[in-house]
Amino acid sequence: MLIIALHSRFPLLFESPGYRWLWLANLVSKLGDWLGIIALNLYVFDLTGSATALAVLLAVESIPALLISPLAGVIVDRLSRRRVMMVANLVAAMMFALLPLMASLWQIYILALLWRVTISFMEPAERSLIPDLVGKDKVLSANSGLSAVNYLALIVGPAIAGFLVASSSAAVAFWADAVSFLFAVFFIYRITGELPRTRLDGHSRPGWFDDLKVGLNYAFNNQALRVLLVTTFVAAFAGAALVTIEVVYIKEVLDGGDVGYGLLYSVAGVGAILGSANAMRWARRFTLTGLYVGTVLLTGLMFFPYANIQVLWFVIVVAGLHTVPWVLGYILVDTMLQQWVADEVRGRIFSLIHTQRSAGQVLVAGLLAPLVDWWGPVTVLNLSGVVYTLVGLYAINRLGVLRQAEESAVSQVRPQESIS
């Protein structure tokens, strides 16, 4: 039954060997990420007993995405994306293998920072590699499969990490994480089908910063990409706002306690998997751009019942429903970029998106956290909904620009057999 369900929802797992290895690598790598995140947070808190130390850890982990990601995109576009992913996973394995040997807080911060550097390389490389493996006509199906396994890891990974730390120690969780990255290296090594890297027509091989400038010019001179950059930044901002606010909202306003907070995340994880598994079905009924604009507007509007109908069970259900268009929007952005952006600069564009999403998280930490203390979580949730809804209206206004880019991409994409 499981094989039949997987074949029905994610046929590329059976049609494309290269994609199947990437999917397996993603599964073990994301499980490792969650093992690392939970175990590292517990380790730092147990070592210091300080919430401030945890806050500094989160700040340190955000630095690579802001400073390293743009240049990481240049490397992803210059070198083999498959090899970039292998090296990044090897470095991540080394960092977590060393963590149990670190007793000083500053040493832990350095290793955590280096681990986040690897993510700044892995994510753009992975997303840029997908069209090579399956063809541009099948990237939506590929992204849906990867998104589903990512959120499955979100549901399972923290529970495994908590069990390992509670039953043995954080060190065991760190070493298990290191082993997961080594498995990812093996799976990535087995991938075949990557295309050689090329350059944009008329561009010789410039310096690193010149390459970065070419990528930025490509993004900001394209009207459709500018729309996606605006909407993804606000999505990241609002997403980080929810993570910041929800614990206060559930525990203090709704009196849901730890159980209610944990249940909300479990239901949201189910909603994320549903959104991932049904992306192809909904895309058959609508254009990609029309579906994307709808997800942005719907995500914004759903903030309001979430914030204002203050019944715990209702909020938990809405959180699950809210996650469906949210996750679908992320899948559609990846798909549109993979179809619209030239291969020569795809890594730089995905790195720019990665930087934006991290910048949104940093801004939330700096701006919204004090507002929650001053105005309360309900007001800030409504404010987030207003901003997100306005961006949804902006996306509707720019739908013509998005449709032109989609039509241009469709005219260039021809169905092709998956590369094996």
| Same domain, residue pair 90 and 32 | yes
In a domain, 204, yes or no: no
119-170: per-residue pLDDT in tens?
889 989 999 999 999 999 899 999 999 998 888 887 787 778 777 877 888 8
231-276: per-residue pLDDT in tens?
988 887 777 777 667 777 887 888 888 678 778 877 888 898 999 9
| Same domain, residue pair 164 and 251 | no
| Same domain, residue pair 279 and 315 | yes
| Same domain, residue pair 219 and 358 | yes
What is the pLDDT at residue 347? 92
Q: Residues of the chain with pLDDT > 70: what percent?
A: 87
In a domain, 296, yes or no: yes
| Same domain, residue pair 167 and 225 | no
In a domain, 119, yes or no: yes
Out of 163, 195, 227, a domain closes at: 195
CB 191 within 8 A of CB 134: no
* Measured distance CA(13)–CA(236) in Å, rounded: 29
| Same domain, residue pair 108 and 148 | yes
CA distances from 418 to 13, 26, 79, 138 (A): 11, 19, 22, 8
| Same domain, residue pair 233 and 332 | yes
Minimum mean pLDDT range among 148-162, 270-284, 342-356: 148-162
In a domain, 218, yes or no: yes
| Same domain, residue pair 27 and 96 | yes
Tell me how many domains the chain contains.
2
* Measured distance CA(70)–CA(349) in Å, rounded: 9
Note the pTM of the prediction, 2 decimals: 0.86
| Same domain, residue pair 171 and 220 | no
In a domain, 54, yes or no: yes
Amino acid type, 70? P
Could you count the other beta carbons within 10 Å of the beta carbon of residue 408? 13
| Same domain, residue pair 280 and 360 | yes
Tell me which H or E stretch contains 195.
none
Mean pLDDT, residues 166-179 taken together: 86
**pLDDT over 50 at 222, yes or no:** yes
In a domain, 420, yes or no: no
Mean pLDDT, residues 355-374 taken together: 68
User: Residues 6 or more apart from 402 whose CB is under 8 A from it?
Assistant: 224, 227, 289, 292, 293, 336, 395
Alpha helices in 376-420 (DSSP H): 377-397, 399-412
* Measured distance CA(215)–CA(88) in Å, rounded: 22
| Same domain, residue pair 171 and 244 | no
Q: Which domain holds residue 172?
A: 12-195
For residue 236, give the CATH number of its domain.
1.20.1250.20
In a domain, 5, yes or no: no
Mean pLDDT, residues 83-95 taken together: 94
In a domain, 203, yes or no: no
Residue with tokens 């998280």: 361
Alpha helices in 168-285 (DSSP H): 170-189, 208-220, 223-248, 257-277, 279-285
DSSP 101-163: G--SHHHHHHHHHHHHHHHHHHHHHHHHHHHHHH-GGGHHHHHHHHHHHHHHHHHHHHHHHHH
| Same domain, residue pair 46 and 93 | yes
Out of 195, 226, 245, a domain closes at: 195
Out of 170, 195, 220, a domain closes at: 195
